[in-house]
Structure 1
Amino acid sequence: MSEKKIKNIFINGPISADFIAKSIANHSSKTDIGGHSIFLGQIRQDQIDGKSISAIEYTAFEELALTKMHEIREKIFDKYPLSCLHIHHSLGKINIGEICLFVFTSSKHRKPAIDACNELVERIKTELPIWGKEIFADDTHQWKENS
């Protein structure tokens, strides 16, 4: 693994629109970038067994998740000609309609940014030890299964 510092991807609470906008604005001075790809994961109001989800509470095995994310990040940089790659994942209770995942990739051309962003989202969902507890409107809960 490289000597690069492991980046903390976790944010306590929802990811705000201001945070996302500032992240995008910070790239306007990087004039070698021609394409960005952004994925925003939002909590939706699913119905399960006749009950409405009101929030998801995320927890993680943080040290392991950050080490694994660092490995994935390095592999993605080796695979795609990216200029930038940013990942932010919420921890704690995130209400319906709020953003819980922000993946932002940039490259000279759009295709590598899009492909890298898509691969990152899939790998985050399948490889990182992050769990979501679905909280229903009646205050009952169950562990979420990723699909």
Structure 2
Amino acid sequence: MEKIRKPKKVFVQGPISPMFITESIASHQSKTQIGAHAIFLGQIRADKKETGVVTGIEYSAYEEMAEEAFHQIRETAFTKFELTCMHIYHSLGVVPTGEISLFVFVSSPHRRAAFEASEFIVEEIKANVPIFGKELVGEVGYVWKENK
């Protein structure tokens, strides 16, 4: 019988702190059926543009639609890969360069499933979740970010 998981809150305001990431990892030490974790951290780059250097990104989203898309990605990943647990967090609001805006943390009894699931999840987020980023560039202000 397939386990039904309720949707989880994904969005956090501002950058995802290193302390939050550390605490998330530490909370899994007691889960001894886990043999591997894969972690993806999306960090804001200081890209050079014609009008200046990116100093941050302001994220917005159609939150209800985005939360549903995240839920569908989670459900698909649990179906496709042998996972023990999964956590996804994405920033809303302004995230300065050098800070983390996406934290994907998957756990599995085996490393291959963790690696493959992590890549699958990140690619699905980029392709299917209605999150929008405006890059803060030099003195120009905001420029809509292309999702690459």
Question: Deviation digits for residues 20-59 of structure 1, max 9, x if unmatched?
Answer: 0000000000001010000000001001115100010000
RMSD: 1.1
Structure 1 residue ranges, 4+ long, deviating more than 4 angstroms after superposition: none
Amino acid at match of 1:53: V
Q: Secondary structure at the match of 2:9?
A: coil
Residue 86 (structure 2) aligns with: 85
In 1, Cα distance between equivalents of 2:107 and 2:10: 17
Aligned to 2:146: 145
Tell me the TM-score normalised to structure 2 length.
0.95
* Separation of aligned partners in 1, 2:86 and 2:51: 39
CA distance in 2, matches of 1:102, 1:123: 14
Counterpart mapping for 1:1-147 below 5 A:
3-147=4-148
Secondary structure, aligned partner of 1:111:
helix
Give the secondary-structure state (helix, strand or coil) at the position aligned to 1:82: coil
What letter is aligned with 1:59? Answer: S
Q: For structure 1, which runs of at least 5 residues remain unmatched after alignment?
A: none
TM score, norm. by length of structure 1: 0.96
**Cα separation, 2, equivalents of 1:24 and 1:139:** 39
CA distance in 2, matches of 1:5, 1:50: 44
1:140 CA drift (Å): 1.4
Q: Kindly provide the amino acid, as one letter, of the partner of residue 20 in structure 1.
A: I
In the alignment, structure 2 segments of 5+ residues that lack a partner are none
